[in-house]
Chain A
Amino acid sequence: MLRYFLKRLGLALVTVGLIMTITFWAMNAVPGGPFEREKAPEPRVKAVLEARYGLDKPIGQQFVMYVGNVLRGDFGISLKTGREITTTILTGFKTSAKLGAMAIVVAVFFGLIFGMTAALFRNRFPDRLIIFLTTFFVSVPSFVLATLLLLVFSITLGWIPVWSATDRHMLLPVIALALYPMSYITRLTKSNLLDILGQDYIRTARAKGVAGWLIVVKHALRNALIPVITYLGPLTAYILTGSLVVETVFTLGGLGREFITAILQRDYPLIMGTTIFLSVIMIGMTLLSDLIYKIVDPRITFS
């Protein structure tokens, strides 16, 4: 168990290292640079700026320097704002993670409830309604959904302010963010639950005299959760690190927006910083979901 965990940890470090290397070289291979504008800057000014940030050195040397700094915990400063990358990322992550955590809770809670309802009312009205709605939410792109939510609840009905100093304005972005994973979890739960409810051990539970709802909650749901957990690992990482669309539509300064802005502005240290941060979270969450497997399904052994 511990050996397996250490092995996974080692592999994770290798993966992060690879991602770092590939991103660094790919980023530099693209023509243009952080100081290129529509109006070409004065060559002398550009040379001074590049020298200041070490961009004039050979790329191999730049990479070695960057890795050295990262190993010392220094991710550098933004070429655009001059702020520490660590501060920028953590500030953005605070907003994104808060939003994302709420969205995940909503998605899992309602996803499981709707999925169970659909399975238990198979081919009847509740099932058909749920499947229609979840298909809708899965197929409509998030920028359309986010804009629609804003239009209906903030502009037409005026129930929720477009923006406020309190957390009330978080409601719509949370919904916008949760709809897709909620629908996905609903459909995943439904199909798995139907499969599990046809298993022999469900018949055993019935033959023992276990009540219907207890069969679903105790005997079926636990087994039906396994694929949901597989999905939850990457989903959590994806949602926690922010969604550009939702953060843009609702004007929230999250990590998703930082990431895209960094790429657009060729802010090299910020691109590297956000990429590394994202991959660490992604790998961490996948590892975590593998560990949760073990708790839910005792048949899984680590070796």
Chain B
Amino acid sequence: MNMQGLHEKKEGVILSVRNLSTSFFTGSGEVKAVNGVSFDLEAGKVLGIVGESGSGKSVTAYSILQILTHPGRIVGGQVLYKGVDLAKFSQRQMREIRGEQISIIFQDPMTSLNPTYTVGNQIGEAIRLHTSRRGSEVRDRIVELLTLVGINEPQKRADQYPHELSGGMRQRIMIAMAIACEPDILIADEPTTALDVTIQAQILELIQKLQDELGLAVIMITHDLGIIADMCDDIIVMYAGSIAERGSADDIFYNPHHEYTKGLLHSIPTMEKTDDMLIPIAGSPVDMLAMPAGCPFAPRCPSAMKVCMTDMPEELEIGDGHFASCWMNVKDMVMAEAGEQHE
């Protein structure tokens, strides 16, 4: 495999996920955590993946990096990074990708850092693994990174242990570790969920700043549409392992074409809406071991039709780069065509 080409900077689409399927083979059966997901990520752009717990957004990210844990594995599809299929890479080959080309930060920075090593040691580990820097060069880079992610007294902080730092600072450490080797892609897996609201904004700002300065492509995974509204170029809405709707941020926010997306938008609190004006999505997430035959959202969907219960809707292009998998769109299209013929 030609690994050389992977180190060159590239414009346009750098990550193209095609029909990715990942399953967990549990004692009670196969759980299709990710079921035929496709999307493109362009260099230097921010892609948001939104969905509730168990929708498969994190598993999608872990599949890209192949850091799934037993009994999960990729069962189909491609992960094309600069044209090379990472899904076919061995763990040994993936080690060259992880942390060097594609990095990830996690939800809970407390548990994601090893409690028995200093943060400097843990950042330095990534530097030593992927660069030729040694000794004082590593130290200098650590201090440089800590400064870059906005940590005061970097010399002192580098020698501290995770438990001696605040939650926000720990997430900054995770970010410093992730960007240590100047990757092309940063995956942020619910980076602010475990943090205070005030810190959340700071971390998001930092990610945005770094994305801008370093030209990173960012995959922002979250269950909260509200927090990523301003920073994403494109958004994918996932439900039960499949993509419900994808498009530009404007498409998703102002022209949603999937009942689930509409439901998510209704449940975001804003300045104008008071508590009793928020409309929660009724019902509970689908049982992944007993997936319905049709659209997985149908049992909770306010506009579900007969066909929704029996057949999975195809992905339909609503506009330029805007796709949704919902029978309502098919219905609207058929109605429109019928109307045209009538005239």
Footprint of B on A, CB under 8 Å?
A: 198-201, 203-212, 219, 222-223, 296-299
* In the complex, B177 has a CB within 8 A of chain A: yes
Secondary structure type dominating chain A contacts:
helix
B97 to chain A, nearest CB (A): 7
Known: A207-B104, A210-B129, A212-B91. A198 touches B69 (CB 8 A): yes
B111 and A209: CB pair below 8 A? no
Interface residues as binary, B184-225 with A (CB distance below 8 Å gives 1, 0 otherwise): 000000000000000000000000000000000000000000
Note all chain B residues with C-beta closer than 8 A to A210: 95, 125, 129
Are B98 and A207 interface neighbours, CB within 8 A? Answer: yes
Q: Counting CB contacts under 8 A, is B65 at the interface?
A: yes
Cα of A205 to Cα of B69 in the assembled complex, Å: 13
Let me know if A298 and B161 touch, CB within 8 A.
Answer: yes
Contact partner of A209 among B97, B114, B116, B161, CB < 8 A?
B97
Asked if B40 is at the interface (CB within 8 A of a chain A CB), the reply is no
A296 and B65 contact, Cβ closer than 8 Å, known pairs A200-B111, A210-B125? no
6 new A-B contacts at CB < 8 Å, known A210-B95, A296-B116: A208-B129, A209-B98, A209-B100, A211-B92, A223-B115, A299-B163
CB-nearest residue of chain B to A196: B114
Chain B 91-105, CB-CB to A under 8 Å as 1, else 0, gives 110111111100110
- The answer to whether B65 and A207 touch across the interface, beta carbons within 8 angstroms, is yes
Q: A207-B67, A207-B104, A208-B126 are in contact. Are A201 and B114 (CB under 8 A)?
A: yes
CB distance from A123 to the nearest CB of B (A): 10
A296 closest partner in B (C-beta): B116
Q: Which residues of B contact A204 (CB under 8 A)?
A: 106, 112-114, 174, 177
- In this complex, what residue of A is CB-closest to B163? A299
Rounded to whole angstroms, the CA-CA distance of A219 and B97 in the bound complex is 20
- Please tell me if B141 contacts chain A, counting CB pairs below 8 Å: no
Are A200 and B106 in touch, CB under 8 angstroms?
yes
Q: Are A298 and B129 in contact (CB under 8 A)?
A: no
B residues near A (Cβ < 8 Å) are 65, 67, 69, 91-92, 94-100, 103-104, 106, 108, 111-116, 118, 125-126, 129-130, 161, 163, 174, 177
Contact of A207 among B99, B108, B114 (CB under 8 A): B99
- Rounded to whole Å, the gap between the CB of A229 and the closest CB of chain B is 13
Q: List 24 A-B contacts (CB under 8 A).
A: A201-B113, A203-B67, A203-B69, A204-B113, A205-B125, A207-B65, A207-B67, A207-B98, A207-B104, A208-B98, A209-B95, A209-B97, A209-B98, A209-B130, A210-B125, A212-B91, A223-B115, A223-B116, A296-B116, A297-B115, A297-B116, A298-B163, A299-B115, A299-B116
A223 to B91, CA, bound (A): 24
B106 touches A203 (CB 8 A): yes
B67 touches A201 (CB 8 A): no
Q: Say yes or no: B112 contacts A206, CB within 8 Å.
A: no
Which residue of A198, A212, A219 is within 8 Å of B114 (Cβ)? A219
Q: How far is the CB of B216 from chain A (nearest CB, A)?
A: 16
| Contact in complex: B103, A207 (CB < 8 Å) | yes
B76 to chain A, nearest CB (A): 22
Which B residues lie within 8 Å of A203 (CB)? Answer: 67, 69, 106, 112
Least CB distance from A198 to B in Å reads: 7
* In the bound complex, CA of A208 to CA of B115 (Å): 16
**Complex: A298 Cα to B65 Cα, angstroms:** 31
Q: Tell me how far the C-beta of B66 lies from the nearest C-beta in chain A, rounded to whole angstroms.
A: 9
Q: Complex: how many Å from CA A204 to CA B111?
A: 9
Report A-chain residues with C-beta under 8 Å of the C-beta of B69.
198, 203
Closest Cβ of chain A to B230, distance in Å, is 27
CB-defined contacts of B174 to chain A, threshold 8 Å? 204
- Which residues of A have CB within 8 Å of B99? 207-209
For the complex, give the distance between the alpha carbons of A210 and B181 in Å. Answer: 14
User: With a CB–CB cut-off of 8 A, which chain B residues contact A222?
Assistant: 116
Set of chain A residues within 8 Å of B97, measured between Cβ atoms: 209
Taking CB atoms, residues of chain A closer than 8 Å to B94 are 209
A298 to B165, CA, bound (A): 13
Q: Which residue of chain B lies nearest to A223 when distances are taken between CB atoms in the complex?
A: B116
Q: How far is the CA of A223 from the CA of B161 in the complex (A)?
A: 14
Give the nearest-CB partner of B110 in chain A.
A200
